Structure 1
Amino acid sequence: MKSAALAFALGVFLLQTQALLPDPLLWSLPALVLCLPAWRWRRWPAQLLLLIGACGLGFGWAAWRAELRLADQLDAAWEGRDIAVVGVVAGLPQDFERGVRFEFAIERRLDAEAVVPQRVQLAWYDDGATRHPVNPGERWQFAVRLKRPHGAANPGGFDYELWLLERGIRATGYVRPAPAQRLDAFVARPAYVVERLRAAVRQRFESALPAASHPWRGILTALAVGDQKAVDGELWTVFNRSGVTHAMAISGMHITLVAGLCGALLAGLWRRLPGLALRWPAQKVGVLTAALAAFGYTALAGFGVPAQRTLYMLLVAVLAMLSSRIVAPGRVLALALLVVLVVDPWAVLAPGFWLSFGVVAALLHVGAALVGAGRGWRERLRGWGTVQLAATLASLPILLLVFGQFPLVSPLANLVAIPVISLLVTPLALLAAVLPWTFLLQAAHAVLEPLMQFLIWCAAWPLWQVPAPHPAAVLLAAIGVVVCLLPRGVPGRWLGLTLLLPLLFWPAPEIPDGEARIAVLDVGQGLAVTVRTRQHLLVYDTGPRYGSDADAGQRVVVPYLRWLGATHIDRLLVTHGDADHAGGADSLRAALPVDENISSDAALGRRCAAGESWRWEGVDFAILHPADEAYADNGRRNALSCVLAVTVGGERLLLTGDIGAREETAMLARDAAALRSTVLLAPHHGAKGSSTAEFLAAVAAREVLFSVGHRNRFGHPRPEVLERHAATGARLWRTDRDGALLLTLGPAGREIAAWRQLRQRYWQGR
């Protein structure tokens, strides 16, 4: 059973790494045939066939589910067009800086020819001083403009398209200014009843705890109803750096705790009523109550995917106990794994999936070894230490693989945070969600105050950081964890630590002298470029600001630098002060130390000026614009963009910021020969007021890179600009189509690769 479940999981995982979606029947039918002999023949050849068949079944099942999900899509012909639809607000609305965002279940379309998915995510922007009133369960008629799922594609970055696919959201868009009409105040369906209750709880929390005097209110909301967006982005940074993120949102730990407490309370009461205890054992009553409590808490959390995984695991365990059969914990965990992947085949790509099952497996392993241990305080302390060690070791390979870092203070932070959050804050928040007593919320917030001060102190501790490790190092580390957790007395357990060493000390890829590695990151409508030599790192612009609590520095640039294993930035060059180029600067400086700041904007660093140059490990850098007279003219921000040339031997990259035709002409007049480059970052994202024919002829680039947002409102790059670049014979690359562009300049020439081609997946662009 356990081996077959793991084989099924392997098949599901392999499907999620495919560039193209295969035919499910071609895999499922042969897999079933291979599994049949195992039911009658128990020898090893049949068991091997069973494992191969289970793997094929997992592959085929995941392919079939993906085929069904992808079939519900927006017709490409209807992208960017107004569509009249009627539907229901299906999720908890989220306020943002300029409006409100919510999931919308489309019931019918008023444009008969339109082909739209069943579930979309909409933004409704403010039209004035008031915010649009939207509540879960309301039926509305909207005119919407939709587009297919699309997200940034960068090494080490978050896959937004996969996130939407897993949640069944098959298009995103916004409500048009055309008059919207609310048709029904409430649609009485179970899912919408739950969402309305969640909204009511969140509103009560907000009314009872004013944000100005209660900075931790969002944590209570997240613990009660699973609204993680109620927590400020800066607090998530604190939680990540202290290693307690799992404790600050509805996680498996909280659901299990609530279920256990409810089950234990009712079982204890049941035992004190002999008539009831004789009819049905108190133990089974407690187990069934725990299952119902877990289901209720998961519903209050909005049936989030991580909460669902925990619910399925608990339900499998409950069914095993109610069956009155002795079932090994390993079999229960294997069956839970099977159920989770049958319901959600995309779960294998979520870090939480591996953390949940990996840590639970480790705890079950050491828990079996602790059975029968003494009851003295020394034995209990030793048992607690063993459990903490098992959880830390089991999570270490996953955290380093996914996030590239591990908080050294995590054991200490969790030692304090888990009991406080689990035994005090979460129960108080849940009681406050049920009972309209404000003092419960006040008490929960008061408990959080000293804890948060402690966690802020913990967040200042250093992190163990490694670049993206090789899968072989992760596999060795996983084996090392198993060896380390072998029962006491087994010889050679220390060898497990040696297997962890390759992962803990995985080196960053070495760059030889005289070579530069450049990444034009996919940040949407903006610009962020990194240039690395053997010992130095330069960041050229930091991408746009997405909202009041998010920017490209936090969402894209920092994760990419963590993926590289970078620990500091030698020079941060922000071309000018526009938000699409400087929006992520503050987040970047907060995450990594910067040795030197350069910009045409005095508020962002010392002045960049034409004529400045430097050399790092055989790579030459030169600033070509702006000259002193450009500053004297007091021109627009775009006109003062810092232009940087990166030269390696006969290869040169020209980074141009947002310069326009006037600045191009000025540089041609100063030194046209200095502009000749093999690779050009298109000025101003391909705007019509840039990339003049004379400038392009002087540069004579063979490769042209465009940093643009998908379906951006400016229409960049403009068709006439694309035509001028194409006329030169250069190859054209675009971040909106290709994802991050990875460029290597060296003695052997140049190499360019697109991240969407290097890591192609079947859901991209669909």
Structure 2
Amino acid sequence: MRTKAALFPAWRPTRPDVGSVARKAGTALLLRLLDEQERWPLWMPVFLGCGVGLYFALPSEPPAWLAPVLLAAALAMLVAGVLLRHRAAGWLLLVAAMATGGVAAAQARTLAVAAPVVPYAGTFAVEGTVVEMEPRRKGSRVLLDDLAVERLAPDATPRRVRVALRWDEGVRPGARIALKARLSPPSPPALPGGYDFARKAFFEGLGGIGFALGRPVVVAPAPEGANRLERLRLHLTEAMRREIPGVDGAVAAALTTGLRADIPDGVWEDMQRSGLAHLLAISGLHMTLVAGAVFILVRYLLALCPPLALRATVKKLAAAVALVAAFAYLLVSGASIPAQRAFIMTGVALVAVMLDRSPLSMRLVALAALVVLVSQPESLTGPSFQMSFAAVVALIAWYERRPERREGTERQRHHLLVYLAGITATTLLASLATAPFSAWHFQRVAVLGVVANLIGVPLTGFWIMPSALMAFLLMPFGLEAPFFWLMGEGIGWLLWIASLIADMPYAALDAPFMPFAALLFMAAGGLWLCLWLQPWRRFGLVPVACGLVLLAFTERPLLLVDAEMGHAAVVGDEGVRLLALRKDAFLEDLWLRALGGDPLPWPGAPPPNGPLRCDPWGCILDHGERRIALAFRAGALAEDCGRVDLVVAFIDASACSSPRPVVDRPALRDMGGAAVYATTDGFEIRPVQAARGERPWTRR
């Protein structure tokens, strides 16, 4: 007879076989990967971008010899990966080659464009050749090349500078002019981790920005036939401005010739809040509209000629003509880096049509991304590349997965409904795909952008851009005026829609200080969702959710101070208080966006129980049991030195010998500005310059 112990053996916990679980998970992952082998090439630009991103994240510049070494290693791994018979090992080598090549391409690009920068802000006698000219309401803005700058040796002279002219009589592209100008180096970020205009200017070869003091002298007029393209751009812009006066004409110039310096700040604000700002920059949308209109027109005209239509492939001929038209638009628009990127994407699609391939292919998008990242690696860090590719990848992923299109009369019967549903779905999808990047770069998400784009994009595509195209085609015959009038009317409606949407409650939401980790998680999850086809792609929702959770851990500073000690911002629960010793509306707007909250006046009479108390000599900011002193004058510095946990002095504080941290004007200049955060141990000072690292574009 069995005992009770034999019938009911004691339960003993067993250790999980971690190795077995890992092997099963690895096997499942491998099987899923093998099921989607045809999608592996789509990840090559992602790994190339990882290499580019790694280069820009380095705290210091690697030695110059590293670029050719990494390039040789990348080529060797690429060849080995292609020739290797073991498929998995071959793809791993290709992944390593892409990442290594990304670092090499980014460093090679940096070495290729490196040029001097104006060493300090000051007045210089400048002589240079006008290579670009943008008309403005008062004068113009010119880009000068082939420079000679007073007090700067040739090897210390910038390659290019941009100067605003109040008087521009006789100044034309190709002319050589001399002037006195107030020049400054391109501005660094206004806060740690902020947008770095100096880096953008570095890769554009721009070494100084400023304004002319007085009238420029034309040393040599533009030679006959010189700078024909820039002169054509200027001629087209002036013709448009004559026919389309005011703000509408400035927007017309931005849409066609890419000259947008004359657009008022209020229009920019309305376009950004309504989600229509992307229409003001030459992008893939504009390039597609021009190429698409030419493609349809040429294909229709060729089809009217039966002998040609029967003997040639009309579609391919139309695609070739559209490619030429897109290239012409690229040149007329100024061939900016975003426009070049848009042309590459459009050109790849048109070549696909000529080769009887589908232009709506994820492989073509991957090819375009590879070309852009190899030729212009710095574009990875900019909003234009990120938002354009995010929208295109999301739209093509939706196109690949949508149900089979209905054929026949049912589709024709509901043609309008299908169009409205399609444009609504694509607008919503593109808005969702670009929202994280908009929040990161602009600290703003256009909530009603779907509504605005639902009207604004068709208005631009079917009214404004076709009118511009017809006006340019008929300009040699003097028949452009009616079409410029039509274009101006369409732009007027577009700006009215932007203003209407922007004034609505909750049209845009501020997204202050979005963590970079949140952006990375959401981008990685979005790629996983879009690049795979099998159901396991839904695992991409996990990193997207993690990114959204990280938004709750946004860290805001207590205090911001700029490098010149002209501005400070104190952040509290009730809003942001700005102290401005000198006027700088751009800096104030940028800080308010990044910090969030409403701007509050700097207190005159100090509130008796408030955390911020001020008098004419300085301020005291209480945070819990700790205290920060802002000293405007020597009297406040002498009173607060040694009595507070942190002194921020708007003057030289060398006379203050305190065991507590003291930050004064010379220190702030070295830091490039700073943000002060509260910690458990006191206060942490984060310099702007430390976040930028020691790179060619950060040298001062």
> Structure 2 length as normaliser, TM-score?
0.81
1:306 matches 2:315: no
CA deviations on 1:632-658 (whole Å, 9 max, x unpaired) are xxxxxxxxxx6311245775433244x
Measure the CA separation in 2 of the matches of 1:75 and 1:528.
24
Aligned to 1:270: 302
Q: 1:733 to 1:560 in 2, by over 3 A?
A: farther
Q: Is the 8 A contact 2:514 2:554 kept in 1?
A: no
Q: What stretches of structure 2 of length at least 5 have no aligned partner?
A: 1-40
Q: Does 1:528 align with 2:553?
A: no
Give secondary structure in 2 for the equivalent of 1:227.
Answer: coil
Q: Distance in 2 between matches of 1:342 and 1:484?
A: 25
2:591 aligned partner: 557
Rounded to whole Å, the distance in 2 between the matches of 1:171 and 1:278 is 58
Instruction: Find out whether 1:624 has 2:624 as its counterpart.
Output: no
Matches within 5 A, 1:59-78: 59-70=103-114, 72-74=115-117
Deviates most, 435-444 or 452-461: 435-444
Which residue does the alignment assign to 2:33? none
The 8 Å contact of residues 649 and 662 in structure 2, kept in 1 or not, is answered as no
- Tell me if 1:55 matches 2:99: yes
Shift of 1:288: 0.8
> Within the alignment, does 1:752 sit opposite 2:672 as a pair?
no
Is 1:93 the counterpart of 2:131? The answer is no
Match of 1:230 among 253, 258, 262: 262
Q: Distance in 1 between matches of 2:147 and 2:641?
A: 60
Verify: 1:568 aligned to 2:568, yes or no.
Answer: no
In 1: Cα distance, 2:674 partner to 2:540 partner: 41
Secondary structure at 1:519 match in 2: strand
Structure 1 unpaired stretches of 5+: 574-597, 599-607, 626-641, 707-731
1:643–1:654 CA contact under 8 A, matched in 2: yes
Q: 5 Å matches for 1:662-681?
A: 664=635, 672=639, 676-681=643-648
* CA distance in structure 2 between the aligned counterparts of 1:113 and 1:342, rounded to whole angstroms: 33
Name the SS of the counterpart of 1:170 in structure 2: strand
Report what 1:397 is aligned to. 436
* 8 Å contact kept, 1:404–1:466: yes
- The residue aligned with 1:576 is none
CA distance 1:699–1:536, shift in 2 (3 Å): farther
Distance, in Å, in 1 between the alignment partners of 2:157 and 2:222 is: 23
Compute the displacement of 1:543 (Å): 6.7
1:238 CA drift (Å):
0.6
The count of aligned residue pairs is 642
Give 1:285's aligned amino acid: L
* Aligned with 1:342 (options 363, 374, 378): 374
Whole-Å Cα distance in 1 between the matches of residues 671 and 264 of structure 2? 32
Q: Is 1:151 matched with 2:196?
A: no
Deviations 1:580-634 (A, max 9, x none): xxxxxxxxxxxxxxxxxx4xxxxxxxxx23x64324xxxx432233xxxxxxxxx
Q: CA deviation at 1:310?
A: 0.5
Match for residue 194 of structure 1 among 222, 225, 229: 229
Q: Distance in 2 between matches of 1:51 and 1:698?
A: 55
Q: Secondary structure at the match of 1:185?
A: coil
Instruction: Compare 491-500 and 58-67 and name the one that shifted more.
Output: 491-500
Cα distance in 2 for residues equivalent to 1:327 and 1:746? 53
Corresponding residue of 2:649: 682
Give TM-score, length-normalised by structure 1: 0.75
Q: What secondary structure is seen at the aligned counterpart in 1 of 2:683?
A: strand
Range with bigger deviation, 238-247 or 738-747 = 738-747
Cα distance, 1:498 vs. partner?
9.5
Q: 1:383 to 1:537 in 2, by over 3 A?
A: closer
The Cα shift of 1:120 comes to 1.2
Aligned partners of 1:392 and 1:411 also within 8 Å: yes
Residue 20 of structure 1 pairs with residue 54 of structure 2: no
User: Quick one: distance in 2 between partners of 1:233 and 1:438?
Assistant: 28
Q: Contact 2:192 / 2:691 at 8 angstroms: preserved in 1?
A: no
1:314 aligned counterpart, secondary structure: helix
Corresponding letter in the other structure for 1:622: R
C-alpha contact (below 8 Å) 2:146/2:159 kept by paired residues: yes
**Rounded Cα–Cα distance in structure 2 between residues aligned with 1:325 and 1:491:** 28
Decide whether aligned partners of structure 1 residues 385 and 369 sit closer, same or farther in structure 2, where only a CA change above 3 A counts: farther
The 1:649/1:232 distance shift into structure 2, 3 A limit, reads closer
Structure 1 counterpart of 2:130, which letter? V
- Could you give the per-residue CA deviations for residues 417-437 of structure 1, whole angstroms, max 9, x where no partner exists? 111122101222343345253
Are the counterparts in 1 of residues 274 and 452 from structure 2 also a CA contact under 8 Å? yes
Q: Aligned runs of 1:258-337 on 2, under 5 Å?
A: 258-277=290-309, 280-324=312-356, 329-337=361-369
Deviation readout 1:481-524 (Å, 9 max, x if unpaired): 4677799996996994994475278225468xxxx8222134xx
Query: What is the SS of the residue equivalent to 1:121?
Result: strand
Give CA deviations for 1:374-405 in whole Å, capped at 9, x if unaligned: 12525555544443333233222322333333
SS at match of 1:216: helix
Structure 2 match to 1:448:
491
Whole-Å separation in 2 of the counterparts to 1:622 and 1:389: 47
Once the two structures are overlaid, the 10-residue window that deviates more, 36-45 or 738-747, is 738-747
Corresponding position: 1:458 with 2:487: no
Task: Please give the root-mean-square deviation of Cα atoms over the aligned residues, in Å.
Answer: 3.7
Distance 1:109 1:506 in 2: 48
Alignment of 1:88-167 (within 5 A): 88-95=129-136, 100-106=140-146, 113-117=153-157, 119-123=159-163, 126=166, 130-141=167-178, 148-155=185-192, 157-167=194-204
Which AA in structure 2 matches 1:468?
Answer: F
Offset at 1:754?
0.5
- Secondary structure of the 2:155 match is coil
* 1:558 partner SS: helix
Aligned residues of 2:237 and 2:257 also touching (Cα < 8 A): yes
Contact 2:520 2:547 in 1 (8 A): no
8 Å Cα contact 1:613/1:621 also seen in 2: no
Secondary structure (helix, strand or coil) at the match of 1:416 reads: helix
Deviates more, 1:117-126 or 1:481-490: 481-490
Residue 419 (str. 1) matches residue 458 (str. 2): yes
Q: Which residue identity is paired with 1:220?
A: A
The one-letter code sitting in structure 2 at the alignment partner of 1:137 is G
Structure-2 change in CA distance of 1:656 and 1:96 (3 Å): farther
CA distance in 2 between counterparts of 1:673 and 1:124 reads 44
Deviation at 1:209, TM superposition (A): 3.5
